[in-house]
Amino acid sequence: MKNLLQTHSLAWAQGVKVALEAEGIRAVILDEHDRGALGAWGRVRVAIVYDDDLARAQAVVERLTPPRTGPPPSWRWQKRGLLLLLLDVPLFIVWVGLLDDSGVSPLLLAFAAVVVILFIAGALLVALGPRADKKGSP
C-alpha cells in the first residue's frame, strides 16, 4: 500500500478515489474518521492498494488537478492604479493643508498638477485594466 496524496478536503479525497476505481485502480481513504482529519491541521490520505499502480494513479490525479493560475493580466494594471491612488491621498491632504496656509503660488499650482495627474493616471489604470484580460482570451 502506497500513499498517493494528502489533502484537507474529504470531498477531494473521495473524488480521487472514485476516479481511481473507475480506472481499475484499487484505492482506500485513510484517516477519514479521525477527529483530527476534520480539524484545521488534519489531513485525509488516499492510498493505492497495489504498489504497481502508483504511476497510473499519479497520472489520474494529475489529470484531475486543475491547472494553477495566477492573477489575471488586468491585476497588474489595476494594482499599479490602486497604488497611485493610494499615494495620491496623502499628497492631496498635504496640498489642501498648504492651500490654507499660503496663497496661490506657482509651486503650489505645480503640486496640485502632480496630485491631479496621479489621480487621473491611477483612475485610468484601474478602469482600463480589464482590457488586458480581453487580449489574452480567444
53 and 97, same domain (yes or no): no
58 and 78, same domain (yes or no): no
- Tell me what pLDDT residue 37 has: 47
> What is the domain range of residue 123?
73-136
Tens digits of per-residue pLDDT, 28-45?
A: 998 877 655 455 567 888
Contact 96, 36 (CB under 8 A): no
- Tell me what pLDDT residue 102 has: 66
Last residue of a domain, one of 35, 64, 93: 64
Provide the residue-wise pLDDT of the chain in tens; the chain has 138 residues: 888 998 888 888 999 999 999 999 999 998 877 655 455 567 888 999 998 989 999 999 999 888 878 888 888 889 999 999 999 999 999 888 887 766 778 888 899 999 999 999 999 999 988 887 776 554
- In 3-state terms, what secondary structure has residue 27? strand
DSSP H stretches of helix in 65-105: 73-101
Residues 6+ away with beta carbon under 8 Å from 38: 10
- Tell me what pLDDT residue 119 has: 95
Which secondary structure element, helix H or strand E, spans residue 7, and what is its range? strand 2-7
60 and 92, same domain (yes or no): no
90 and 124, same domain (yes or no): yes
- CATH number of the domain where residue 25 is located: 3.30.70.790
84 and 128, same domain (yes or no): yes
Domain count of the chain?
2
Residues 6+ away with beta carbon under 8 Å from 125: 77, 78, 80, 81, 84
Last residue of a domain, one of 64, 85, 100: 64
- What are residue 29's DSSP bridge partners? 46
Distance CA 1, CA 95 (A): 70
